[in-house]
Amino acid sequence: DAGVIQSPRHEVTEMGQEVTLRCKPISGHDYLFWYRQTMMRGLELLIYFNNNVPIDDSGMPEDRFSAKMPNASFSTLKIQPSEPRDSAVYFCASSKHSGQVYGYTFGSGTRLTVV
Amino acid sequence: DQQVKQNSPSLSVQEGRISILNCDYTNSMFDYFLWYKKYPAEGPTFLISISSIKDKNEDGRFTVFLNKSAKHLSLHIVPSQPGDSAVYFCAASATGSSNTGKLIFGQGTTLQVKP
């Protein structure tokens, strides 16, 4: 079991550029979550999917953010255009069920820097 | 609006002593609570959880206490070890809601255990 795999680990981009973050959840997990970590707000839920269907995207900050899950083994989080305030660590997580009792499994994160 | 709050950004304790990390929540619909631990450059990892039907759950050196009337939970680590130095996140979920799969996290508390 390779765990939740995120790529890239680090991304530095210029303001205005498009950024795509990628996630491969654990096989068999039917929930997938995108979180963003900042000092002020901690771990902030952006969007989550159940069986590849977006369930709640109320945490997506603006229309510049979009997420897709075309199949059970892959998801993307896209920011277009990127801004310096988007700089943060973005985590993907997956779980077999809703995760209340045993929690989610997180990936190692993507550190995004927008200059 | 921060539904889960960790008001202490940091805590420092001596090795062998007790570490107490605190968390407050505002949503009375929350009925599952979890603690995660995060090391630098890694994703958060699940530590321990508690259902609202209990007021205490213990796992080795880690115990979580829940006070529903005060909407407060705490994580006790006894005895504390240098390897426990990490960021600890509190999280909560409302299983009866339409967003049953959603975990709401606090801002995190950085614990430093001094040898």
3-state secondary structure A59-76: CCCCCCEEEEEEECCEEE
Cβ of B42 within 8 Å of Cβ of A103? The answer is no
Residue that the structure tokens 């997990």 belong to: A29
The pLDDT value given to residue A62? 84
CB < 8 Å to B49, chain A: 100-103
Cα separation, B74 vs B53, in Å, equals 16
A47-101 pLDDT, tens digit each: 999 999 999 899 998 899 999 999 999 999 999 999 999 999 999 999 987 666 6
The pLDDT value given to residue B96? 66
Most B CBs within 10 Å, among A51, A69, A104, to test the B interface: A104
The pLDDT value given to residue B101? 65
Sign of CA dihedral B103, A105, B13, B41: negative
Token pair for residue A22? 């990628």
**B63 CA to centre of own chain:** 10
Cβ of B103 within 8 Å of Cβ of A107? The answer is no
The pLDDT value given to residue A99? 62
Cβ of B101 within 8 Å of Cβ of A102? The answer is no
Sign of CA dihedral A57, A63, A69, A70: positive
**A96 CA to centre of own chain:** 17
User: How would you write the pLDDT of chain B (115 residues) with one tens digit per residue?
Assistant: 689 999 999 999 999 999 999 999 999 989 899 999 999 989 999 999 999 999 999 999 999 999 999 999 999 999 999 999 999 999 998 876 565 668 899 999 999 999 9
A21-42 pLDDT, tens digit each: 999 999 999 899 999 998 888 8
Sign of CA dihedral A51, A54, A57, A63: positive
pLDDT of A115 over the 90 cut: yes
Helices (H) and strands (E) in chain A, counts: 0, 11
* Closest CA in chain B for residue A110: B41
The pLDDT value given to residue A60? 94
